[in-house]
Amino acid sequence: MTRVVQKFGGTSVADIDRIKAVAQRVKAEVDQGSEVAVVVSAMSGTTNQLVDWAVQAAPLHDAREYDTIVAAGEQVTAGLLALCLQTIGVDARSWLGWQIPLRTDDAHGKARITEIETDTLSERLSSGQVAVVAGFQGIASDNRITTLGRGGSDTSAVALAAALNADRCDIFTDVDGVYTTDPRIVGKARKLDRITYEEMLEMASLGAKVLQTRSVELAMNHKVRVQVRSSFSDAEGTLVVDEGEIVEQEVVSGIAYSKDEAKITLVRVADQPGVAAAIFGPLSDASVNVDMIVQNVSEDGKATDMTFTVVKEDFERAMAILESNKESLGYERLVSDSNVVKISVIGVGMRSHAGVAQRMFMALADKGINIQVISTSEIKVSVLVSEDYTELALRALHTAYGLDAA
Amino acid sequence: MTRVVQKFGGTSVADIDRIKAVAQRVKAEVDQGSEVAVVVSAMSGTTNQLVDWAVQAAPLHDAREYDTIVAAGEQVTAGLLALCLQTIGVDARSWLGWQIPLRTDDAHGKARITEIETDTLSERLSSGQVAVVAGFQGIASDNRITTLGRGGSDTSAVALAAALNADRCDIFTDVDGVYTTDPRIVGKARKLDRITYEEMLEMASLGAKVLQTRSVELAMNHKVRVQVRSSFSDAEGTLVVDEGEIVEQEVVSGIAYSKDEAKITLVRVADQPGVAAAIFGPLSDASVNVDMIVQNVSEDGKATDMTFTVVKEDFERAMAILESNKESLGYERLVSDSNVVKISVIGVGMRSHAGVAQRMFMALADKGINIQVISTSEIKVSVLVSEDYTELALRALHTAYGLDAA
């Protein structure tokens, strides 16, 4: 018996008509003989309304009350979808986080799943009943509702699929799969049939919005076969799978970009042991996320330039911290630039292929695009360039790595 | 230590500003040194929206899913009020039905409370924390959310007050108390300082909308002192109490009216044993609620007229049933009239005072108002008259019983 977890996001359940359409998709899976658990988000707009009320009620809110309030959104969708399923003759019932129970730690607002009790749920699935599970929510040890943070319904779905030993976890969304790059920018972008967990993880953390990073990590750790597919068509989507399942691996699978970073340079900071720690310690203490870091070779052995990027949200805070520590850090001046984009080429194939970075540098140079910062990891190469070149760079790289659709 | 349960309805928590105003009222009670539990309804409009969605999803809906959906409304208000209280420095937390737990039977959609566990709640109250309780909801033995039916938050509040041995249960509403009659019709209507449970029960079931009938029954059974008061003013409201607490009892406390009934007469039905059972049996089987019943004395010993009233909602159904049974019932014809009003004078004092009904008949006769049907109980006299005379009759009776404000 095939067991499938399906997850539908906010736009897929935006109103009753869409929820009815979702019910039809669930029924189609049931009619194929599958056991189905469905994870739903709040109807789109609902969560924002609830968050807005919570903020109006208390700018600095008690996260336990916040969770109680916002979890109501998924509760409503779960009940409504169960009703729509019953109406078309599918046995179904709703499950709230505390009813399963889906246990989490006590980090309200961004809780982590610790345990999912599946005995009853599994029994019901085997008896042919569809389980409609309210996503995004769980229950803490003090018997209070927790939420998993933004996008948490993806995480609920993958965790549930792992706990239920599901054969597949279908994430229905408003795109029909994972693309080699953003198709709104590169007309020749192709939908990928398969992608590895590691690549998906890089894509997710580098700006591709299809899946939440945490849910991909979870899928990777538990080997859950995730399929990203469209709520609005029957087309096959993209399967996120283990590397072993992909026979012919491309060197580069995709190209991601993020405009969410800003660059900061400390000019002529002392070139001596401990200077990096002195700079990044205070930033870390203030929860500023630092991404790319480059330290130039010192010319005179006394001072060097230190460049790094932070997410734009943290930019003002980072600058303030650095300025207030100017004396102790001993740099000459701060230079910053928000008009930058980080472009990354990603592919597990580059582990076994040389020259991947070189091809990137040459393609960009051909178009006269100056690289400001470079960072590499085992399966990706990222460069920081001026934001003005975003589209030009993406198209050039897409062609250079042979990703263009025929 | 005074312990108080406060209940705020939907219009009192319609938006964040009103919820903040409610928080201030709760704080005022806390500042007086009281231990406070607050029961809240859904923000006005919310329940209707949720019900509307449920109906769209499934016209004949699974009551368990319906309850899961609509209970979300009170959940949100409870969280928001807890936040508003915390913001003004009042220690508070929200409690959902399943968290208390407030246990009910399994009659989803109109569940009855079976048990409220108060150990933890009572402990928190004693420690100075305000308990913000989501009204209208409980949990059934199968671990699923139940709701108590329309107006159920009043019932939640009274039941909680009983379980917590509260000194008082304040029901905040959009009127400032219980009046001798509808002040929109009778300008000289007076707010009552006190009213007995039994009178309140009659008032509630006879059309006065201030309190739900079930909540008054519950208050009476557990001797909970209920105060009906305004959300929008600090004025004292009306205390609903045991008869013994009212020193000088008026003969008549109030006059209620209901336009929600229709009159049906079976003309020349056989005057023989079993005829009443033959008429009302089929109506009862079809869940038609019959209220006032009058059987005239037979003139010729063979046939009589049988007149009774039903609520307007059941009228068409009642007529159809009677018509389809015309042959077996053997009446000559059916006469019906929807243009009627039932007017009731209510007062526990009439137990010990004669002539109460007579005064009513005279007052109506003086104004030339014809009485169509009369029914009496221990503490009320009801008459059915033409709807056109509603205002005239109410004013005449209000004066006749000495209820007019000075």
Mean pLDDT of A25-34: 96
On whether the CB atoms of residues B101 and B59 are closer than 8 A, the answer is no
Per DSSP, the three-state class of B364 is helix
Mean pLDDT of B36-40: 98
Backbone angles phi, psi at B132, to 5 degrees: -100, 110
- Which CATH number describes the domain made up of B3-174? 3.40.1160.10
Would the CB atoms of B57 and A78 count as touching at under 8 Å?
no
- DSSP letters spanning A240-303: EE-GGG-SS--S--EEEEE--EEEEEEEEEE-STTHHHHHHHHHHHTTPPEEEEEEPPPSSSSE
Q: Hey, what's the torsion of the CAs at B379, B384, B386, B392, to 10 degrees? A: -10
Evaluate if pTM is beyond 0.90.
no
Distance between B40 CA and the closest CA of chain A, angstroms:
14
Contacts of B96 in chain A (CB under 8 A): 68, 145
What's the CA gap between A196 and A179, in Å, rounded? 13
On whether the CB atoms of residues B362 and B275 are closer than 8 A, the answer is no
Mean pLDDT of B34-49: 95
Mean pLDDT of A99-107: 96
- Give the pLDDT confidence of B190-205 residue by residue, as tens digits: 999 999 999 998 887 7
Mean pLDDT of A163-175: 93
Q: What is the pLDDT of residue A204?
A: 78
What's the CA gap between A402 and A252, in Å, rounded? 9
Q: What is the pLDDT of residue B207?
A: 60
- Give the pLDDT confidence of A125-134 residue by residue, as tens digits: 999 999 999 9
For A79, which of B16, B65, B94 is closest by C-beta distance? B65
Would the CB atoms of B96 and A54 count as touching at under 8 Å?
no
Distance between B112 CA and the closest CA of chain A, angstroms:
21
Bridge partners for B171 per DSSP: B7, B228
Instruction: Name the residue of chain B whose CA is nearest to A84's CA.
Output: B57
What's the CA gap between A259 and A257, in Å, rounded? 7
Mean pLDDT of A356-363: 91
Backbone angles phi, psi at A89, to 5 degrees: 85, 20
Distance between A76 CA and the closest CA of chain B, angstroms:
5
Angle at A267 between CA A263 and CA A273, to 5 degrees: 100
CB-facing half-sphere around the CA of A359: CA atoms within 13 A? 17
Predicted confidence band of residue A319 (pLDDT cuts 50, 70, 90): very high
For B58, which of A68, A73, A87 is closest by C-beta distance? A87
Nearest to B369 by CA among B405, B337, B395: B395
pLDDT over 70 at B243, yes or no: yes
What's the CA gap between B394 and B374, in Å, rounded? 16
Mean pLDDT of A328-345: 93
Q: How many helices (H) and strands (E) does chain B have?
A: 12, 20
Q: Where are the domains of chain B?
A: 3-174
Q: Which of A289-298, A379-388, B73-82, B249-258 has the highest mean pLDDT?
A: B73-82
Bridge partners for B266 per DSSP: B306, B334
Mean pLDDT of B297-307: 81
The encoded tokens of residue B250 equal 């008026």
What 8-state DSSP symbol labels residue B235? -
For B16, which of A56, A83, A87 is closest by C-beta distance? A56
For B80, which of A16, A54, A76 is closest by C-beta distance? A54
Predicted confidence band of residue B231 (pLDDT cuts 50, 70, 90): confident
Contacts of B26 in chain A (CB under 8 A): none
Q: What is the pLDDT of residue B60?
A: 83
Judging by beta carbons within 10 Å of its beta carbon (0-12, 13-18, 19+), is residue B127 exposed, middle or buried?
Answer: exposed
Would the CB atoms of B68 and A58 count as touching at under 8 Å?
no
State yes or no: ipTM above 0.90.
Answer: no
Per DSSP bridges, beta strands B145-147 and B130-134 are: unpaired
State the CB neighbour count (10 A cutoff) for residue A29. 19
- Give the pLDDT confidence of B383-399 residue by residue, as tens digits: 999 999 999 999 999 99
Contacts of B79 in chain A (CB under 8 A): 54, 65-66, 68-69
Q: What is the pLDDT of residue B232?
A: 84
Nearest to B264 by CA among B328, B344, B209, B329: B329
Residues 6+ apart with CB under 8 A from B300: none
On whether the CB atoms of residues A61 and A55 are closer than 8 A, the answer is yes
Q: What is the pLDDT of residue B208?
A: 62
Indicate which of B19, B62, B119, B147 best probes the interface with A, i.e. most A CBs within 10 Å of its own CB: B62
pLDDT above 70: percentage of residues in chain B: 98
- Residue A399's identity, in one-letter code, is T
Q: What is the pLDDT of residue B376?
A: 85
Mean pLDDT of A292-311: 83
Mean pLDDT of B161-173: 96
- Residue A248's identity, in one-letter code, is E
By residue count, chain B amounts to: 406
Contacts of B82 in chain A (CB under 8 A): 62, 65, 68
More confident residue, A226 or B203: A226
Contacts of A96 in chain B (CB under 8 A): 68, 145
Weakest mean pLDDT among A338-342, A396-400, B171-175: B171-175
Mean pLDDT of B232-242: 90
Left (φ > 0), alpha (ψ -120 to 50) or beta: where does A277 sit? alpha
Q: What is the pLDDT of residue A237?
A: 93
Per DSSP, the three-state class of B380 is strand
What's the CA gap between B325 and A284, in Å, rounded? 85
Predicted confidence band of residue A207 (pLDDT cuts 50, 70, 90): low
pLDDT above 90: percentage of residues in chain A: 72
Backbone angles phi, psi at B252, to 5 degrees: -120, 130
What 8-state DSSP symbol labels residue B11? G
Nearest to A68 by CA among A54, A56, A82: A54
Predicted confidence band of residue B343 (pLDDT cuts 50, 70, 90): very high
Mean pLDDT of A367-376: 91
What's the CA gap between B218 and B214, in Å, rounded? 6
pLDDT over 70 at B144, yes or no: yes
What's the CA gap between B389 and B397, in Å, rounded? 12
Q: What is the pLDDT of residue B262?
A: 95
Mean confidence (pLDDT) of chain B: 92
Predicted confidence band of residue A208 (pLDDT cuts 50, 70, 90): low
What's the CA gap between A126 and A114, in Å, rounded? 24
